[in-house]
């Protein structure tokens, strides 16, 4: 009599894609105002800026948000530039509210670029955004106010953080900017990795491998400085040009990533390793002593940071003006 032995085959385990692996090391943030993208990649947080909102507002799927912002503010009786300004603020917050229905964490909403050197103006704008979110039932703990990393921006962040309003310091390209923001106790900074690379590529006339990418090295330096001197400000790498930059910063507190690069990560199962600690060893950096004069001098001595900060403010302002024009045509 023969006996048949059945051997159970082990269940095959699906290899994690790079996005899934990265989420185990770093909080992943989506750099988009497109709701469909947020649903597809399931990030923890989301960031927006005038360029992203301009792009989204012109998509047919978001026409209703533009119309709602216009209709709600027409009832106020305000006219002219004041009406346009109120609609702009409302539209940014309406996008933020919809984003928060999708992501479990926070949304970043950007202050006006033309307020980048106006401390009181930045504080007032932050209060306006927080008030609009509260009217929509959104608490301040789910909102990050994005402010350019100027000296005035860091002073505004210092005041806002004391009130419990968390700030995301954007357009950051240098260690002095990062230190000023950390000493102001800003909740989060966004070093622009790709824009740093752009500048050095143009100057050197060559590309850089990810491990030698000037933007990557800048974030590692900032991360090491924060750890050495006990700063609690979160570091969120931003503005990536390629997947290699992202993988070289795996393990950073947060990384905000465009839809295209999120897709590239999702479509690969190559291993992802923690790389952020490959920077300067703790205990090897000198503490920067900063006041306004020292900050401005160190920023001035860094041609890349000076140029990219000014350029970034101009670009965001130009896109905000385009968004205003787009809305004005519909009034």
CA 176 vs. chain centroid, Å, equals 19
Residue 101's H or E segment, with its range, is: none
Q: Exposure string (b/e) for 241-272, b if CB count within 10 Å is 16 or more?
A: bebebbbbbbbbbbbbbbbebbbbbeebeeeb
**CA–CA distance, 99 with 93 (Å, rounded to integer):** 10
* 3 state DSSP class of 192: strand
* Pair 259, 37: CB distance under 8 Å: yes
> Among all residues, which ones are annotated catalytic?
146
Find, among 255, 323, 313, 316, the residue nearest to 49 by Cα. 316
Residue position matching structure tokens 């896109």:
319
């Amino acid at each position: 009599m023969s006996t048949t032995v059945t051997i159970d085959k082990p269940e095959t385990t699906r290899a994690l894609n790079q996005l899934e692996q990265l989420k185990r090391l770093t909080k992943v943030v989506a750099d988009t105002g497109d709701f469909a993208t947020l649903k597809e990649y399931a990030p923890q947080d989301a960031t927006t800026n005038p360029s992203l909102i301009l792009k989204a507002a012109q998509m047919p799927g978001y026409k209703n948000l533009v119309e709602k912002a216009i209709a709600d503010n027409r009832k106020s009786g305000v006219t002219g530039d004041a009406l346009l300004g109120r609609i702009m603020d409302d539209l940014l917050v309406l996008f933020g509210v919809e984003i928060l229905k999708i992501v479990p964490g926070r949304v970043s909403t950007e202050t006006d670029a033309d307020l980048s050197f106006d401390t009181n103006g930045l504080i007032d704008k932050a209060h306006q955004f927080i008030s609009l979110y509260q009217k929509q039932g959104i608490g301040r703990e789910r909102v990050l106010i994005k402010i350019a990393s100027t000296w005035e921006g860091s002073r505004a962040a210092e005041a806002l953080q004391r009130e419990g309003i968390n700030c995301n310091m954007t357009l950051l390209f240098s260690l002095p900017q990062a230190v000023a923001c950390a000493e102001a106790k800003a909740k989060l900074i966004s070093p622009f990795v790709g824009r740093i690379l752009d500048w050095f590529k143009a100057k050197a006339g060559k590309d850089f491998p990810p491990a030698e990418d000037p933007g990557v090295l800048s974030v590692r330096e900032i991360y090491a400085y924060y750890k050495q001197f006990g700063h609690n400000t979160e570091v969120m790498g931003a503005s990536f040009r390629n997947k290699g930059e992202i993988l070289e910063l795996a393990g950073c507190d947060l990384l905000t990533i465009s839809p295209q690069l999120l897709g590239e990560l999702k479509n690969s199962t190559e291993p992802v390793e923690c790389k952020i600690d490959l920077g300067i060893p703790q205990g090897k950096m000198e503490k920067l002593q900063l006041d306004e004069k020292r900050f401005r001098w160190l920023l001035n001595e860094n041609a890349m940071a000076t140029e990219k900060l000014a350029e970034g403010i101009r670009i965001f302002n130009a896109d905000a003006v385009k968004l205003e024009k787009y809305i004005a045509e519909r009034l």
